[in-house]
Structure 1
Amino acid sequence: MRIKTIAAIPLRIPFGDRYGGPRAKRRGWTEFDSLLVRVEADDGTVGWGEAFAYSCLSTVRTAIEEMVAPLATGREVGDIATFSRMLQKELHIWGRYGITIFALSGLDIALWDIAAKQAGKSLAEYLGGRRRHDLPAYASLVRYGGPQPVDAMVRQAVADGYNDVKLHETTYETIAAARLAAGADIRLTADINCGWSLAEAEDMLPRMRALDLYWVEEPVFPPEDYETLQALGRFGVALAAGENACTAMEFARLVPALAFPQPSVIKVGGISEFLAVADLARRAGKPLMPHTPYFGPGYWATLQLAAHLQEIALFEFLYVHPEAFCGRDIPLPDRGHIAIPDAPGIGFTPDDDTLRRCRVA
């Protein structure tokens, strides 16, 4: 394929967090910043990607428009992974990770979408075969900051049919309240978002084990400190990390230290780097738990990867109510499972009304 045009489409979509009871403090996160990447090939095929853009929407947009698009537009693309790696090399002076890789992730996803569409196949089939048609999902709760709302939201998620629930809480009292609300049969996890010091982690991890947490995610800062993560494994609690790691090179260091590597397709470098991470996990015998708290093309691309890769164990579904979805007919969980579409490419078709209403000037 030859790249004809690349466009970045910034969106801001309000959402509700499903909780209507009393709160200790006001909600801090009320809108999704999403950056769609539209790529058109010279034959007219359009591919869609997504670049991570939470709280950095305009910066990532600028990276695509001023760094990535001038390099990639007009180029012939044969092997997508090789092309993406070449772009990484050409842009490395601005940093190997972060904003640069977020921008490249969006382009890479769109290129794979085009290639699969040109072949008349879903991405899963294009990658070598569709191995499953649905996927178990877990309810990923936002941070509520206290036992009362967490109790209510865990009970609601369990009533909706989820067997796995993830918290974004850091205190023992709140996590213990969630365990009591969930009951012994529900797998409960906690994403600490690097919120504990090393001393706090050493104090809390035995208590998390007593609560029978399925995993504890990113307990300390920095999240890529694989030596500390490996050392914390002595407490007998499964550890997960990787949503903030870019490229397979970072995962080569992280995978041995983790029970559950967590690549994010819109942050790691797109589908090309995600496949390389999956290969690392396969050789290490580690299941993947992708980071997917978004609803754009990255959501759809992850589902297609899950249809192809047996290493993916669960799909992270952000347990909120967006006011709109940027893609038409988005497959949502039903009793804790998501049916994976079989449309050409990643399956994403933009909702033009949402793109018009929610586009950021």
Structure 2
Amino acid sequence: MKITAIDPITLSIPFEDGGAGVGITPQRWHTLDMVLVRITTDTGLVGWGEAFGYFCSRAVAAHIRDLVAPPLVGRTVDDPAALNLELQRRLALFGRYGLTIFALSGIDIALWDLKAKAEGVDLATLIAGRRKREHVDAYASLVRYGSTELVARYCEKAAREGYRSIKLHEVTMPEIRAGRGAIDRAISFTVDVNCSWTEDRAASVIPELVALDTLWLEEPVFPPEDWDALRRLGALGLAIAAGENACTAQEFGHLAQAVRYPQPSITKVGGVSEFLRVAAVARANGQMLMPHSPYFGPGHCATLQMAAALDEFGMFEHLYVEPQAWVGGEPQLPERGRMGIAQRPGIGFEPDPEVLQRYATS
């Protein structure tokens, strides 16, 4: 089975979240900017992947077309992990992390999708020999509201829907207190500040976060790769989580010594191949993965396949928003805080052609 074409497809799907869409991203965030990767082969099989594309979809698509894809056309799809490493070596001069690894991530997911489809099994079975689970616990990952009233409202809503774990993206304590106060203490509670605090600020609020029964504090400081600061904060009595901005298992080797919960993002870390290498690092260090997965296309599906394949997979992150359309056609939503895992060949994703046509940006 040889690759005949690799094509990026950029989409922009509006979503509603009940907030103003400001605070986390450089501009207002109200669309899901996706970069799908379609790989066609001489056998007629088609593989689908997803590269990280929020606010950078056109640039990532250009990296795929002009830099990462050309060396692969005509190659045989038999060992995606080996192709991934070969490309990382060949692309090192062009930036091993950031847009280049985002592009490679999407291609890698599509290659694994193809390999599993060719063997007639779902990706989890291809990787692990058998599926470890059919469902995974999901937590509601709320957007940043910057309002105590909105935080309380949406925490209460998620709790009513059956979520047993809720994550805030608030950066000030009044909103964080409001979120914790709106839900039962039996519901686990986490806080992601997206690198907004100094080390001193984080250290000063950790005692209160512990008192609020916070399961973890996520990405507390800038820069996110300040391993020493993360390690010092982790010694203060609250678990630290990080990793959505870390690329390749190399960075997770450092991160494993600094945090309790590593958080690889399959569309950013280097795809399935690097995700599996990160899982091996976590396994060696006795850690549970809490992957970053605010996706609604192949990235969502591939992450769920990792949940079915890996014992060290913890909870699935579900971005708590309402997309205007679902790129796979049917809604992908947890039920009572549990996410079902598709058992179809490959990663379990096929796009809805009408959605591709309606929301395409290029």
Instruction: Name the TM tier (shorter chain).
Output: over 0.9
CA distance in 1, matches of 2:153, 2:308: 33
Q: Residue in 2 aligned with 1:37?
A: 37
- Measured after TM superposition, the shift of residue 328 of structure 1 is 2.8
CA distance in 2, matches of 1:67, 1:225: 30
The superposition leaves residues 24-75 of structure 1 with CA deviations (integer Å, 9 ceiling, x where unpaired) of xxx9311111000000122111000000011111100100000012111112
AA matched with 1:293: P
Question: Which segment drifts farther, 325-334 or 345-354?
Answer: 325-334
Q: Are 1:14 and 2:14 an aligned pair? A: yes
Alignment of 1:201-350 (within 5 A): 201-350=202-351
- Measured after TM superposition, the shift of residue 233 of structure 1 is 1.2
Secondary structure at 2:159 match in 1? helix
CA distance in 2, matches of 1:57, 1:85: 24
CA distance in 2, matches of 1:331, 1:359: 20
* 8 Å CA contact 2:51, 2:105 repeated in 1: yes
Secondary structure at 2:39 match in 1? strand
Q: What is the percent sequence identity of the aligned residues?
A: 51
Question: Which segment drifts farther, 322-331 or 230-239?
Answer: 322-331
CA distance in 2, matches of 1:41, 1:115: 11
CA distance in 1, matches of 2:107, 2:15: 26
Q: Are 1:145 and 2:126 an aligned pair? A: no
Q: Residue in 2 aligned with 1:82?
A: 82
How much is the aligned-residue C-alpha RMSD, in angstroms? 1.2
- Measured after TM superposition, the shift of residue 258 of structure 1 is 1.0
- Measured after TM superposition, the shift of residue 329 of structure 1 is 3.0
The superposition leaves residues 319-350 of structure 1 with CA deviations (integer Å, 9 ceiling, x where unpaired) of 11000011133442000001111000000010
CA distance in 2, matches of 1:352, 1:191: 35
TM-score (norm 1): 0.96
Q: Relative to structure 1, is the Cα distance of residues 125 and 223 closer, same or farther in structure 2, using a 3 angstrom cutoff?
A: same
CA distance in 2, matches of 1:115, 1:199: 48
CA distance in 2, matches of 1:129, 1:174: 43
CA distance in 1, matches of 2:331, 2:93: 38
TM-score (norm 2): 0.96
CA distance in 1, matches of 2:326, 2:44: 25
* 8 Å CA contact 2:102, 2:269 repeated in 1: yes
Give the total of aligned pairs.
355
The superposition leaves residues 178-203 of structure 1 with CA deviations (integer Å, 9 ceiling, x where unpaired) of 11001211111011100001221111
* 8 Å CA contact 1:18, 1:321 repeated in 2: no
CA distance in 2, matches of 1:99, 1:136: 31
| Runs of at least 4 residues off by over 3 Å | none
Gaps of 5+ in 2: 21-26
The superposition leaves residues 80-122 of structure 1 with CA deviations (integer Å, 9 ceiling, x where unpaired) of 1111111111111111100000000000000000000000000
- Measured after TM superposition, the shift of residue 291 of structure 1 is 0.4
Secondary structure at 2:325 match in 1? coil
AA matched with 1:83: L
The superposition leaves residues 272-309 of structure 1 with CA deviations (integer Å, 9 ceiling, x where unpaired) of 00000001111111100010001010000011110111
The superposition leaves residues 199-233 of structure 1 with CA deviations (integer Å, 9 ceiling, x where unpaired) of 21111112211111010000001112111101111
CA distance in 2, matches of 1:328, 1:46: 18
AA matched with 1:33: D
AA matched with 2:165: D
CA distance in 2, matches of 1:15, 1:222: 29
CA distance in 1, matches of 2:145, 2:19: 9
CA distance in 2, matches of 1:78, 1:186: 44
Q: Are 1:172 and 2:183 an aligned pair? A: no
